[in-house]
Chain A
Amino acid sequence: MKSGVLNLVLKRLGIAVITLLIVMFAVFFATSMLPGDTASILLGQAATPEAVAGLREAMHLNDPAILRFLLWLVGLLHGDLGTSYANEMPVATLIGGRLVNTMKLAGITTLLSVPLALTLGITAAMLRGSVYDRTVTILSIGVISVPEFMVATLAVLLFAVYLKWLPALSSVNEAHSLTDLVRIYAMPVITLTFVISAQMIRMTRAAVIETLSTPYVEMALLKGASRSRMVLRHALPNALGPIVNAVALSLSYLVGGVIIVETIFNYPGIAKLMVDAVATRDLPLIQSCAMIFCLGYLFLITAADIVAILSNPRLR
């Protein structure tokens, strides 16, 4: 059994590496499809043909793009993410702190939203068709149907501008104490929780409802199990597969999708970095960011797949 799981994990890791390569190439291809290159974009309005040609020469952009891509891949094998075209800093330096920030935000949001969403999803499933269930449905759909930037802006207006309880900006460098930390992260985390919870709530609800009608849950009832025991001990473990998939898909949003939250709260994370990189056609930076997103995504779905398999002894 144990070695079976190990084998499975190794196999999945191998497949993940291949997926990563596909993504890297797709991103490369996409980037080279975009009109304009780093030189002309950096020069912006000042991009005269001569100036662009000169800068291209100086930045070694005249080498074929595919060659630069391959060189970057080779560098990657040595743990070198390359140097940004746009500002000549090592990509690792540019990404470093921001990646940590992104992870922090994602981590805190996960800690808050996953338990919340699962609780709401499970309770809604238990009380299916009740007023409570409907309220949860309406609220969760209502909350995601409000655009993210509006939720964030409303939160700022309310908590920062009118009530002055929280700062409007999440300046991570000003966190010196736990209270600071709470104050800084409160609004971004709440906004993101709003955004990602609905999917988890709905999918948890759907999955638990499916398992609640199985004979073994009925059997648990006939053993005198309480409602919570039936759900937590019998229904939930068997609904875990779809639930962890939904959780993984929702959380993957936290890696690359938080651009709006980063913008509004001025939170220096990696999503904005990627947008900047695309805007400047900064291939090494785009590739590195894309790789991080992809790794995050692959990590999550692989973890989800493995949890799903582990939770079902039949698949082990």
Chain B
Amino acid sequence: MSNLVEVRNLRIEAKTDSGRLVEIIKGVSLDIADGEIVALIGESGSGKTTVALSLMGYARPGCRITGGEINVSGRNMAALSEKERARLRGTDIAYVPQSAAASFNPSSTVMEQVIEVTRIHKLMPPERARQRAVELFRALSLPDPEGIGARYPHQVSGGQLQRLSAAMALIGDPKLVIFDEPTTALDVTTQIDVLKAFKSVMRAGGVAGVYVSHDLAVVAQIADRIVVLKGGEVQETGTTAAILSAAQHPYTRELLAAFEPKPRQAHADADAGTKQLLRIDNVTAGYGAVRADGLPLIRAVDSVSLVVEKGRNLGVIGESGCGKSTLARVIAGIHPAAAGDIVFDGKELQRAARKRSQDQLREMQIVFQYADTALNPAKPVEDIISRPLAFYHRLDRQARSKRVDELLDMVRLPRTLRYRHPSELSGGQKQRVNFARALAAAPKLIICDEITSALDTVVASAVIELLKELQRELGLSYIFISHDLSVVEAICDEIMVMYNGERVEQITPDKVTAPTHPYSKLLFSSVPKLDPTWLDGLVRDPELVSQYGHR
């Protein structure tokens, strides 16, 4: 056996609650050589996470490995006993989960969890493990590498958690690391540091990797080979260069084509009597104790003003933790502002959602960043989506059911998904259900907080198309929060750059090549390119990096 990993004809079935079997992986085969990094790309819901997990001999609840072989360093993971598998997990094969936030135990410190692998497998004394962890933190450009380990997960931002879980995987010196969308929560500037760290660690240790991602540019930087999945089957395999430059399979071509989103056409009625839909003036909000002047101790949003015009979109970009989500919550009234005014559709809005009228609530919908927690785990998808239909529009049962089908179609989800619980969906599927629910309300303004972060390029561009279409038909407006600059460029009429709670600049998409504020410059120069050599050849202005890089 020459390869580190040899998967042959892998089949994984899920059992629905009626006992019906659904094949989610239909005979996948793939090889990974020692020290090689293989990227799994493909449609959201195609089984990337499932295949990745199966390499550890694990299938999620409700799923079962029903056929095939998974040989990792010569042992068939599917056939081993649970004990033997446990021995390999963490030491031979390590996993970086897709949703890092949920994968940390909320009641113990980050450091404890990072070094737990060394405790379980008695790899090294805890002191030594801690030192090693700090080295990894530093390599992954985490702020305060010495002190961050003592914090609890909730005291660390989403992007930081993602890097911490990478450290957790790397500490056991595994032969194979499985990264499941490890940079989705990172802004592009941080992403660069992290990718560099991954590359150097893996190269230094000769570690092989499986890199699951929807982001082709990122994949281009890190992977040696690419496996394209769709519907639980491998579509195409090839070296990174080959796939990127000369893809054979039509689906792969589709993916690649979708990577370059059509830039936004100038609005047809752009100048025709624009009307303000939303205006916020000098809004300040934050967390922690309220000070004497009525403002909170920690200000996550600091005197931000913005305007959204009817039928137009505003993009909000900025570093992870700069206050984007907080701003969204403030506008939606979930986190009432401490100061400032919000005017919506000509009327002054109450700061707290509780005090707004039902129509006001309906007309402004917010799509939460974390789809995992925004969907009630106890309810099937159809109930989740049809509630706004019943609540706002008083549709009867049949009409609701019909509308649910339409909405599922719109967000490119199969209709059969309607009966599932959120736990039976993939990351990107959850995200789309979350979005479909907002659409169901038929609002005037939708605040989208990272609604495409877990979507593959094809589906993401389909969703973007959907947004545009709806906008054309219904005159909707969006506030679009994203770390993905190309998506923002594609849809937004205006882009607001935030840094540390403040608005530093507002530009139009056609000017992204020439931002004026230095932070914006750094940001835009960090957007990865589809060119595999981009990362290695990247030179950034060291002054900018030291000023706006991670503190």
Please report A residues at the B interface, Cβ cutoff 8 Å: 213-216, 218-226, 229, 233-234, 237-238, 240, 311-314
Contacts and interface: CB of A to CB of B under 8 A. Distances in A.
Given A224-B86, A224-B121, A226-B86, A219 B106 contact: no
22 contacts: A213-B61, A215-B99, A215-B102, A219-B97, A219-B104, A221-B58, A222-B56, A223-B90, A224-B86, A224-B87, A224-B88, A224-B90, A224-B117, A225-B86, A233-B105, A237-B107, A237-B108, A238-B107, A240-B107, A311-B107, A314-B106, A314-B152
A225 B117 CA distance: 8
Contacts of A237: 105, 107-108
B500 to A, nearest CB: 25
Residue among A219, A220, A311, A314 with most chain B CB within 10 A: A219
Interface in B139-187: 152, 154-155, 168
B116 interface: yes
Interface in B74-107: 85-91, 94-95, 97, 99, 102-107
B336 to A, nearest CB: 21
B120 interface: yes
Given A215-B99, A313-B154, A314-B154, A222 B89 contact: yes
A2 to B, nearest CB: 15
User: Per DSSP, are chain A's interface residues mostly helix, strand or loop, or mixed?
Assistant: helix
Given A238-B105, A238-B106, 6 more contacts: A215-B97, A216-B103, A216-B104, A218-B103, A224-B87, A226-B120
Contacts of A313: 106-107, 152, 154-155
A15 to B, nearest CB: 21
A312 B117 contact: no
A10 to B, nearest CB: 17
Nearest to A238: B107
Contacts of B87: 224
Contacts of A240: 107
B102 A216 contact: yes
A223 B117 contact: yes
Contacts of A222: 53, 56, 58, 89-90, 95, 97
Contact of A216 (B58, B60, B106, B120): B106
Interface string B196-224: 00000000000000000000000000000
A118 B108 CA distance: 21
Contacts of B117: 223-224
A53 to B, nearest CB: 62
Q: Which 8 A-B pairs have the closest CB atoms?
A: A224-B89, A224-B90, A313-B152, A215-B102, A219-B103, A223-B90, A216-B105, A237-B107
B158 to A, nearest CB: 14
Interface of B: 53, 56, 58, 60-61, 85-91, 94-95, 97, 99, 102-108, 116-117, 120-121, 152, 154-155, 168
A223 B108 CA distance: 16
B61 A223 contact: no
A225 B107 contact: no
B102 A225 contact: no
A311 B56 CA distance: 31
Contact of A220 (B53, B85, B107, B116): B116
A213 B61 CA distance: 9
A127 to B, nearest CB: 14
Contacts of A226: 86, 120
Nearest to A314: B154
B103 A215 contact: yes
B485 to A, nearest CB: 29
B106 A223 contact: no
Contact of A229 (B102, B120, B168): B120
Contacts of B94: 223
A11 to B, nearest CB: 16
Nearest to B56: A222
A69 B491 CA distance: 75
Residue among B88, B90, B107, B117 with most chain A CB within 10 A: B107
B120 A223 contact: yes
Nearest to B168: A223
A238 B113 CA distance: 14
B143 to A, nearest CB: 20
Nearest to B377: A213
A223 B94 CA distance: 7
Nearest to A229: B120
A222 B86 CA distance: 8
Contacts of B86: 221, 224-226
Contacts of B99: 215
B62 to A, nearest CB: 11
B100 to A, nearest CB: 9
Contacts of B155: 313
Given A214-B102, A237-B108, A238-B106, A225 B152 contact: no
A125 to B, nearest CB: 15
B105 A223 contact: no
Nearest to A236: B107
A226 B105 CA distance: 16
A251 B155 CA distance: 35
Given A213-B61, A219-B97, A313-B152, A224 B105 contact: no
B297 to A, nearest CB: 14
A225 B108 contact: no
A178 B430 CA distance: 62
Nearest to B97: A219
Nearest to A219: B103
A216 B108 CA distance: 11
B152 A234 contact: no
Contacts of A312: 106-107
A224 B106 contact: no
A218 B59 CA distance: 10
A311 to B, nearest CB: 6
Contacts of A229: 120
A312 B106 CA distance: 7
B91 A224 contact: yes
A92 B200 CA distance: 75
B64 to A, nearest CB: 16
Contact of A223 (B102, B116, B152): B116
B250 to A, nearest CB: 35
Nearest to B178: A222
B103 A224 contact: no
A39 B106 CA distance: 61
B87 to A, nearest CB: 7
A106 B366 CA distance: 54
A219 B90 CA distance: 10
Contacts of A219: 95, 97, 103-105
B289 to A, nearest CB: 11
Nearest to B423: A213
Nearest to A316: B152
Contacts of A224: 85-91, 117, 120-121
Contacts of A234: 105
Nearest to A237: B107
A238 B91 CA distance: 26
Residue among B94, B106, B154 with most chain A CB within 10 A: B106
A225 B154 contact: no
Contact of B120 (A214, A225, A314): A225
Contacts of B103: 215-216, 218-219
